[in-house]
């Protein structure tokens, strides 16, 4: 079954929602609150997810939906959309533009479609199983998403000594496994959250490490990185989007990176 219709729907919707997020950011009225786990949530998180859910329910009423802010709507088939309206809310609250909207489609328990939109940078990438991966380095108008994109492809670096890796949090460096891996690599940076995984999928870095992940963090990342030629797994090697951690690489370095993380 082709996922072309769903893919086009998802990237256009993510681009549209990017406008909602940018407008709220520009207004300065974020209305920051604290959730039960003490993580921040803003009016942009809530409005973005509401718009995502409304559009999906109107277009695919039988499909389930799981979102970080508004929970789960049960599926009446074998499909579930998985949403993170703003991945990196802490960055968003502090005006750091490396936060993103994640839209994924799970079919029969497998993540088959993923979109990562970085609205404050006007950047977007999207992929679906068997349909390839696409990257818009600059997408300001969602109505023009038929142009301005190119294939998304991982890098060809095949030696850790020439590789750049990114970490979501500097606290990861306290982990001796990560510290040993970092010593082998050319450079280590902190461009975290979904932006780091987007950098892997578009060939700008070789690996991104996330020590703690939820399904709405992983689901869009997995098909995008895989369709771009890379690999995804948990730190323990779990290849599912249900993994509790994440490492994405360009594929050439995946097993070697995992050797460090499994030690």
pLDDT tens for 234-243 read 999 999 999 9
User: What is the arithmetic mean of pLDDT over 129-143?
Assistant: 93
pLDDT (0 to 100) of residue 170: 72
Condensed to tens digits (0 to 9), the pLDDT of residues 195-243 reads 999 999 999 999 999 999 999 999 999 999 999 999 999 999 999 999 9
User: What is the arithmetic mean of pLDDT over 179-197?
Assistant: 93
Q: Mean pLDDT, the chain, as a whole number?
A: 95
Q: Calculate the CA dihedral of residues 82, 200, 99, 108 and round it to 10 degrees.
A: 0
pLDDT (0 to 100) of residue 141: 86
pLDDT (0 to 100) of residue 174: 84
User: Own/partner pairs for 90-94, CB < 8 Å, 24+ apart?
Assistant: 90/39, 90/40, 91/192, 91/193, 92/21, 92/25, 92/30, 92/42, 92/44, 92/120, 93/30, 93/32, 93/40, 93/42
pLDDT (0 to 100) of residue 1: 58
pLDDT more than 70, % of the chain: 100
Condensed to tens digits (0 to 9), the pLDDT of residues 156-167 reads 999 999 999 999
User: What is the arithmetic mean of pLDDT over 55-59?
Assistant: 98
pLDDT (0 to 100) of residue 234: 97
Could you tell me the pTM of the whole model? 0.96
Condensed to tens digits (0 to 9), the pLDDT of residues 73-132 reads 999 999 999 999 999 999 999 999 999 999 999 999 999 999 999 999 999 999 999 999
pLDDT score of 154 more than 70: yes
């Amino acid at each position: 079954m082709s996922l072309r219709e769903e893919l086009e729907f998802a990237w256009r919707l993510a681009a549209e929602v990017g406008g909602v997020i940018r407008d709220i950011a520009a207004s300065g009225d974020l209305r920051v609150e604290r959730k039960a786990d003490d993580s921040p949530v803003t009016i942009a998180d809530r409005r973005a997810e509401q718009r995502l859910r409304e559009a999906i329910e109107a277009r695919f009423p039988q499909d389930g939906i799981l979102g970080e802010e508004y929970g789960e709507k049960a599926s009446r088939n074998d499909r579930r959309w998985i949403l993170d309206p703003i991945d990196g809310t802490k960055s968003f609250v502090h005006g750091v533009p490396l936060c993103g909207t994640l839209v994924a489609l799970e079919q029969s328990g497998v993540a088959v479609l993923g979109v990562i939109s970085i609205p404050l940078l006007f950047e977007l990438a999207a992929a679906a199983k068997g349909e390839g991966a696409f990257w818009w380095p600059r997408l300001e108008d969602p109505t023009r998403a038929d142009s301005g994109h190119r294939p998304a492809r991982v890098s060809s670096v095949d030696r850790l000594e020439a590789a750049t890796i990114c970490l979501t949090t500097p606290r990861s460096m306290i982990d001796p496994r990560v510290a040993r891996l970092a010593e082998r690599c050319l450079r280590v940076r902190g461009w975290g959250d979904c932006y780091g995984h987007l950098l892997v999928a578009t060939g700008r870095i070789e690996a991104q490490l996330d020590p703690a992940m939820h399904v709405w963090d992983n689901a869009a990342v997995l098909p995008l990185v895989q369709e771009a030629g890379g690999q995804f797994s948990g730190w323990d090697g779990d290849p599912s989007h249900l993994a509790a951690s994440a490492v994405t690489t360009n594929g050439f370095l995946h097993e070697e990176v995992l050797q460090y993380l499994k030690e």
